[in-house]
Chain A
Amino acid sequence: MIRLRLERRAETPAWMHVALPVLAVIATLILCSALVAMAGAPVLDAYGFLFLSTFQTLYDVQDTLVKASPLIWTGLAVAVAFRAKFWNIGAEGQLIAGAMAAGFIGQRTWLPAPTLIPLMFLGAMVAGAAWALIPALLKVKLKVDDVVTTLLFNSILLYALMALLEGPWKDPVSNYPNSPMIREEAQFPILAGDTLHMGVAISFVAAIVVWWLMERTTLGFSIKAVGANPRAAAYSGLSVARVLLGAAAISGALAGLAGAGEVGGIRYQVVSDLSSGYGYAGIVIATLADLNPLGVIPAALFFAIIMNGADAMSHETNVPVYLANVIQGVALLTMVGGRLFASYRLRITRASMEVSRG
């Protein structure tokens, strides 16, 4: 009798950390090609538009980089939180918190012009961190499940923003529920082309800073220790609650910066549809990056390409634009499934008799 057994590997080989996400993406595209075919489009044509349309001109590349920026922020936010096993599904709401703060500060006429942009960044970080700290405090103090609270916090803040935009925050001269424009001095400088703003460059640098923070500092070490084994971390003298709150604050601040980038670099005002699911995409990106801050950059670029390319694809081939959403879901699931196979080894053994239960 042949038995299949799963054995846990002692260590995941290094090459797998790179190969795994690549394989997961390939598997995702193969699985999703069935949907493309069902929509009646030639698979290669559709995928051609999905990927190549974002490389046709320098403007397309610039748009991809701009799109990647909020994804890098939310990917980093989720990567830090998940390392500490703080299940932050709330990057979407923390992004909105950051955007609200940045928009509010950017409109203040009494602030000296040179302080506007730094204060917008700072305000977005504080607001995002605060919105993440409430669920974290509820988890630490009252043991309320963080998944549910962070999720519900997204809806709560979105409705609050919508109410503000139809009330006190509404631009009096506009018919739409938008805030007034931020001051001209509050608009992020354009670095190249016509949309590549300063926030994009900062997000790429931030990925390196967060990597350094997680890999080279005591704080990063504590976050990873608490996530890996809270009991052992507590035994070695770490305050699990404080580390968790710290991770939540950093995570929220990073997500908040995504909001600052959208308001200060793209929209120049606060609107209710600032994020097209960037917070949730952050979960997929962080997972695909194996929670490594440096890996967040390629993962975010990949999804930026798909999000921008899906528009071109649906325009040209009638494949619904929502293929991009499906790809996100499938990529997340194939990645976590694949990681499991990477950490286990399939053993085929011959057993002549029923082996006693281990």
Chain B
Amino acid sequence: MSGHSTYQPKTGIERWLDARLPIVRLGYDSFVDYPTPRNLNYWWTFGAILSLCLASQLITGIILVMHYNPSAQGAFASVEHIMRDVNYGWLIRYMHANGASMFFIAVYIHMLRGLYYGSYKAPREVLWLLGCVIYLLMMATAFMGYVLPWGQMSFHGAVVITNLFGALPLVGESITTWLWGGFAVDNPTLNRFFSLHYLLPFMIAGVVILHIWALHVVGQNNPTGVEPKSKADTVPFTPYATVKDAFALSVFLILFAWFVFFMPNALGHADNYIPANPLVTPSHIVPEWYFLPFYAILRAVPDKLMGVLAMFGAIACLFALPWLDTSKVRSMRYRPTAKIHFFIFVVACCVLGVCGAKLPDDQVIPGVTTFQLMASDLNSFVWLSRVAALYYFAFFLVILPVLGLTEKTLPVPDSIASPALSHPAAAPAEATAAPEMKG
């Protein structure tokens, strides 16, 4: 963050390097001395968890590529070669496959945390936008990665998703042909997806650097949404945030390990252990769980083009969020009505996820037939997803803009330290004591 660097090179080599490339100073200022709001809760540890997810995906991915054969003929067999013959290949592959799910669990929590505490509001709009770009790149990377094993769900998932672009007027057909590298999903498609699946993670890493840079310019938000005003409001990043992040990370790793070692295929589809066969379509094509809410929005709209636009619109809402929310108060801790709507929003997202996994005409309450509306029974998942999708859009486009102007908010504390320290007079003494504690 802004402020004078307090880095003191201790050895001759450090002084020599500091005069030529102050990289140690950069690291010190960013990850040791960097002032962190003292009231960050565990929701703030997901940034560090996400960094680990990215690193883990990159390392396991690079090892997988050493053994993978990116061709329609050899891809499936080479993945099985990794599972059966490569030393610890099963571990590397299961880490990579489940790592994608863990990455999305962490990113969704990270995004919801930002949403709840108003971390997208001025001056953090660019920070939020960069995060949205990372999320978009993650979705593209995950989708293309799922195609690479060239199983039945890989292949038919690729067919469904690439066909979505065909719904665009005039240019749709040209775009799908261009994406496929031919007139159907085939070897050229697999090859370009492989190439991009290798490229995009490094682009993610690049945007992550920008994301952290932007974070260090404006500083972290915190549960009160009040900017740090004095030294009493902050603690140095190391050891305070470092040790808390490390603890949260180790707990997250336990969850990760549980999936990798004891239920590695629970988040995947059985159909993807059948080699791709263009002539046999699986009875039920579903994307991975992290795409299900968007898939539900896509299917909620009866018209294909409008469905595609609604799906992309759902993501566009995230980009527009800093300008949709009109509230002056940052944290929903002090916005009682917004808080209720936030929790309904979370439920709506989960409901959309469940709807995305079901057949649209399946009954929500088994055995109850109501009446037909827009060619579907009202007691069907397609109607449930319509209701949830409507709330999803209303939350961004109606509730947040209007509520910000009308809501009666609770009093916001003067500073971070004032609710944390019962007696304001005690604050300076404790805060000056803090730096000596570290180490």
Task: Verify that A and B bind, or say they do not.
Answer: no
| Interface, chain A (partner B; CB < 8 A) | none
| Interface, chain B (partner A; CB < 8 A) | none
